[in-house]
Amino acid sequence: MYEQKVEVQEMVTVPAMEYESARESFHDFCLWEYEPLTSYEHKIKSSSLLFHSFETAVADPQVYDLVHNIRGNIGRSRTVWGVKKIGRKIQWEFYFYDYRRLRRQVSIHRLLKAIRPFVDCPIEENERLPYFMFSIDISDDLLSGARRLEEIHVYIGNPGSTVSSGICYALTHNAMKLENFYFFFDAKKQMKEILSKAACSAHIDSGMNLDYIVWPEMRDCRIIVIANKQMNDAVYFSGIDVDQLILFLRRMRYPAHSISFIEEHRDRLDHLRYDAGFDYRAVGNELSILKSGYYGTF
């Protein structure tokens, strides 16, 4: 197993706004690189949206030190963040990738060592598993020590699928439980397959209008992901622009402060592509949104 000395970084407050330098690389929520939509020097990094969500949700201030320490050990712009809305509650999820799998350097072991000053975790990781990604849920009760990190989401490949695909498991201190299947489609070339996949579901009736799921306003994005989960399905739109992100946040009823922040700084956020999605199931012909999220990197 790859071992690297992990140093606890000096605790500092992360600035609420961060800016692009003259030379940057840009990555989506799979850490796949993309070309920015326009010039970007001195514009706002996507991390600024994460920090603003901390302020809007009045998050435990220790979360800034957690981000700083993860950056110091994993690297800058190598962690994907997700801002999640469940009901009226805002939470976060951090995602870590290393597509070298068993030759990985970004491992669960390494991450747990990096966050040990902030988070108590009883999980014993198994670095013999061929995972390429894992994630952890972040909330105030975790940061305050009111709860331990009892679950890590671990993703492995799905060989044999006709499209890029992954399987998610929940890793706990004594079990590995199947959670979700993800299927990645090219939005420009595979719309028929996307709609067929969304329609083939145990959680919606055959008469459901698929425009409620695969929004027409988002169909010109790069990738659309359809996920099958235990109690519902999910759809993700990868590679949307800032105006599509604003539309998404409005429709999903995110806090007004979050939306107005992006609207105010739209011209300094228009170089980025964003990712967003929601979990759903149908009650009769009505679509019920269970949670939603939008994503960037720090």
Reported as a single tens digit per residue, the pLDDT across 114-161 is 999 999 999 999 999 999 999 999 999 998 889 999 999 999 999 998
Reported as a single tens digit per residue, the pLDDT across 206-256 is 889 999 999 999 999 999 999 999 999 999 999 999 999 999 999 999 999
Q: What's the whole-number average pLDDT of the chain? A: 93
pTM over 0.95: no
Reported as a single tens digit per residue, the pLDDT across 19-46 is 999 999 999 999 999 999 999 999 999 9
Taking residues 244-273, report their average pLDDT. Answer: 97
d(CA 269, CA 244): 12
Q: DSSP code of 14?
A: P
Give, to the nearest 10 degrees, the angle between helix 47-56 and helix 62-74: 160
Spatial CB neighbours of 170, under 8 Å, sequence gap ≥ 6:
151, 152, 153, 154, 176, 177, 178, 179
Reported as a single tens digit per residue, the pLDDT across 45-90 is 999 999 999 999 999 999 999 999 999 999 999 999 999 999 999 9
DSSP H or E run through 49: helix 47-56
> What is the residue-wise DSSP string for 108-158?
HHHHHHHHTTT--------TTS--SEEEEEE-HHHHTTSS----EEEEEE-
Q: How confident is the model at residue 194 (pLDDT cuts 50, 70, 90)?
A: very high
What pLDDT was estimated at residue 25?
95
Evaluated on CA atoms 281, 283, 284, 286, the torsion sign reads negative
